[in-house]
Amino acid sequence: MDVPREILETTRTWAVVGLSANPARDSYRVASLLLARGYRVVPVNPRLNVWRGEMAYPDLPSIPFPVEVVDLFRRSEQVAPHVDEAIAIGAKAIWMQLGVQDAQAAARARAAGLVVVEDLCPAIELRRIDALPPQNR
């Protein structure tokens, strides 16, 4: 099973933890691509109020509606509390960005029934899927 592809094809609401208001940052660029592709992007950053017209939230429990994917733009050593919040809010998946890994947090998420992706970028994965021959999409 191609887990990244399954997540990208079956989910629509992504909470992006660590989303920056700076267009030069990877989090901004990836979230913008997700938005352009029709995903609902929910900014999670205590220093933001609004990002591209979407209300920002200080943390995952503050989001008043269901979130399917929690996309983590945090250092590996900082993801564990966000993974625990994702489990608590009933997210379906955790996506840790390039260079981000936490085996213990990932194991907790999997034990709670979440799908986990580590050390991958959804923007790169979307381009990979787009490059597949039509019969393999």
How many residues in total does the chain contain? 137
Structure tokens at 98: 């390039």
- Is 32 a member of any domain? yes
Portion of the chain with pLDDT greater than 90, in percent:
91
Task: Tell me the CATH number at 42.
Answer: 3.40.50.720
Model confidence band, residue 52 (pLDDT cutoffs 50, 70, 90): very high
Is the pLDDT score of 137 beyond 60? no
Stretch 30-59: mean pLDDT, rounded?
97
Among the listed residues 1, 10, 78, 77, the one whose alpha carbon sits nearest the alpha carbon of residue 44 = 78
Q: What is the pLDDT of residues 58-107, one digit of tens each?
A: 999 999 999 999 999 999 999 999 999 999 999 999 999 999 999 999 99
Q: What was the pLDDT predicted at 131?
A: 86
- Is 132 a member of any domain? no
- Is 88 a member of any domain? yes
Residues linked to residue 51 through DSSP beta bridges, in sequence order: 54
Q: What was the pLDDT predicted at 118?
A: 97
- Is 73 a member of any domain? yes
Q: What was the pLDDT predicted at 130?
A: 87
Q: What's the rounded Cα separation, in Å, for the pair 23 and 39? A: 18
Stretch 40-66: mean pLDDT, rounded?
97
- Is 137 a member of any domain? no
- Is 120 a member of any domain? yes
Can you give the three-state secondary structure of the chain, one letter per residue? CCHHHHHHHHCCEEEEECCCCCCCCHHHHHHHHHHHCCCEEEEECCCCCEECCEECECCHHHCCCCCCEEEECCCHHHCHHHHHHHHHHCCCEEEECCCCCCHHHHHHHHHCCCEEECCCCHHHHHHHHHHCCHHHC
Q: What's the rounded Cα separation, in Å, for the pair 69 and 79? A: 14
Structure tokens at 74: 């945090």
Whole-prediction pTM: 0.94
- Is 133 a member of any domain? no
- Is 135 a member of any domain? no
Q: How many structural domains compose the chain?
A: 1
Domain housing 27: 3-126
